[in-house]
């Protein structure tokens, strides 16, 4: 496995400011994107990662915080699973990466 990081891994994720978060209970929440009329159901892990999309966390920082907060996160799979989840959120417009970070 290569340890060289891509520009996206160094990028800091940000929440779409138009997306509405509704925390249903401590175990999860709903996101609503009014731009696309999409709703995303978040479990406790997804909600934790969503909250880290504050523009100050890159992929490795998010994985580190996730592993420190949740005991059952497997080290060998965590980075790929978190990246896949963030890619899904980005593809559906719930989060973004500042354009200046991609250059």
pLDDT in tens, 55-80: 999 999 999 999 999 888 887 788 99
Q: Is 22 within 8 Å of 29 (Cβ atoms)?
A: yes
- Could you tell me which CATH number the domain at 7-94 has? 3.90.930.60
Q: Is 103 within 8 Å of 18 (Cβ atoms)?
A: no
Mean pLDDT of all residues in 11-40:
92
To the nearest 10°, report the CA torsion of 66, 33, 41, 49: 0
For residue 23, name the pLDDT band (cuts at 50, 70, 90): very high
Rounded to two decimals, what is the model's pTM?
Answer: 0.82
Q: Give residue 85's pLDDT.
A: 94
For residue 103, name the pLDDT band (cuts at 50, 70, 90): very low
């Amino acid at each position: 496995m290569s340890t060289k990081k891509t520009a996206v891994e160094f990028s800091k994720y940000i929440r779409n400011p138009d997306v509405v978060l509704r925390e249903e209970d401590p175990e999860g929440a709903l996101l609503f994107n009014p731009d696309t009329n999409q709703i995303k159901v978040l479990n406790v892990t997804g909600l934790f990662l969503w909250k880290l999309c504050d523009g100050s966390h890159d992929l490795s920082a998010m994985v580190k915080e996730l592993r420190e907060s949740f005991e059952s996160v497997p080290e060998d799979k965590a980075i790929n699973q978190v990246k896949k989840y963030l890619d899904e959120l980005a593809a559906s417009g719930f989060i973004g990466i500042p354009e200046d970070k991609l250059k």
